[in-house]
């Protein structure tokens, strides 16, 4: 339940890219607090659009003194990030007591280090921009690299999709307990895959990948037993799906019985839908941190997708953050 010991009430708002997800989060919050509590609603926020493409978010109600949760995933285009920054700034200038930026998918997270000379560290830059806009608390899910938490000089609440993914994963394991196997599509995801494999008591396969250039895979070498196995690839992001589909096709070519995938953030840019549809993957489980495309052509290619909602998890975490309660005990991995 909401603890009514706070002098600052809670208000939840959503920018345009994440409004449908925010509506589900609010619905879950009301289920948690029960019918006897005053219902939480999604606050009213408008975005004025100028003819040159410039826009201006504004709150249609007072936020003076409130603890303000603003939901927005910052996937492309960059306008999504800019809209969030402007909304945070607007809330602070309207005298909100505290602004919690709830960013289910944190864009630019793959730019977490200088992997070659003369490049930016985009994740750190975005962290600085959010703080400069007035963000007081940061909440996100499955950051591409754990060290990104250190880019923020303010409280960070890092959520994990593992809690929601474990339900369908256990069902898949129970269907084929002797052949169920977890796989990582690259060496960078080995720690994540190993954590799932340890929890599910199953073998793990690590794929060693070399790239010809960005988004182009040159060679994949699986390490571990593949033949006759029902393999589930675990990842955090599907972008162009080049790596994911190449790994799935290679595993099937080496004798895997079936290949499925679980990935938190469905960026799905470029030919991703087409690649997945024509690949060896039988099912692809993603969360709703990023909505699947509404384009009719893309929707026709979504037959393999299974969406696992994280609305309940975010609802629980928002209530815990508001009530100054710990969140770490909610995540098994």
Q: Is the dihedral of CA 79, 82, 84, 90 positive or negative?
A: negative
Neighbouring residues of 150: CB distance < 8 A, sequence distance ≥ 6: none
C-beta of residue 233 within 8 angstroms of C-beta of residue 282: no
Neighbouring residues of 192: CB distance < 8 A, sequence distance ≥ 6: 184, 234, 235, 236
In angstroms, rounded to a whole number, what is the distance separating the alpha carbons of residues 39 and 135? 25
Which residues carry out catalysis? 209
Q: What is the DSSP letter of 42?
A: B
C-beta of residue 41 within 8 angstroms of C-beta of residue 13: no
DSSP string of 109-131? TT--S-SSTT---HHHHHHHHHH
């Amino acid at each position: 339940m909401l603890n009514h010991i706070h002098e600052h009430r809670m208000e939840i708002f959503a920018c345009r890219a994440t409004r449908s997800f925010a509506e589900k989060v609010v619905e879950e919050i009301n289920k948690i607090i029960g019918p006897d509590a005053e219902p939480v609603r999604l606050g009213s926020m408008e975005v004025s659009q100028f003819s040159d493409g410039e826009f201006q978010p504004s709150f249609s109600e007072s936020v003076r003194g409130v603890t303000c949760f603003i939901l927005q995933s910052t996937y492309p285009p960059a306008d999504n990030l800019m809209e969030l920054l402007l909304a945070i700034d607007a809330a602070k200038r309207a005298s909100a007591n505290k602004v919690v930026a709830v960013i289910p998918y944190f864009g630019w997270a793959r730019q977490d280090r200088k992997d070659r000379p003369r490049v930016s560290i985009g994740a750190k830059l975005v962290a600085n921009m959010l703080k400069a806009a007035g963000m007081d608390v940061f909440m996100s899910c499955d950051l591409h690299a754990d060290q990104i938490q250190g880019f923020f000089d303010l409280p960070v609440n890092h959520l994990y999709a593992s809690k929601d993914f474990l339900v369908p994963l256990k069902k898949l394991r129970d269907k084929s307990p002797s052949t169920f196997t977890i796989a990582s599509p690259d060496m960078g995801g080995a720690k994540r895959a190993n954590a799932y494999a340890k929890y599910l008591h199953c073998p793990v396969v690590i794929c060693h990948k070399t790239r010809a250039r960005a988004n182009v895979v040159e060679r994949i070498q699986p390490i571990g037993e593949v033949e006759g196995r029902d393999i589930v690839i675990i990842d955090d992001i599907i972008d162009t799906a080049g790596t994911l589909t190449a790994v799935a096709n290679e595993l099937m070519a080496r004798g895997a019985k079936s290949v499925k995938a679980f990935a938190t953030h469905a960026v799905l840019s470029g030919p991703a839908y087409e690649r997945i549809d024509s690949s060896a993957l039988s099912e692809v489980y993603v969360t709703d941190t990023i909505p699947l495309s509404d384009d009719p052509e893309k929707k026709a290619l979504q037959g393999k997708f299974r969406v696992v909602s994280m609305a309940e998890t975010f609802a629980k975490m928002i209530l815990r953050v508001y009530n100054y309660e710990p969140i770490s005990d909610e995540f098994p991995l």
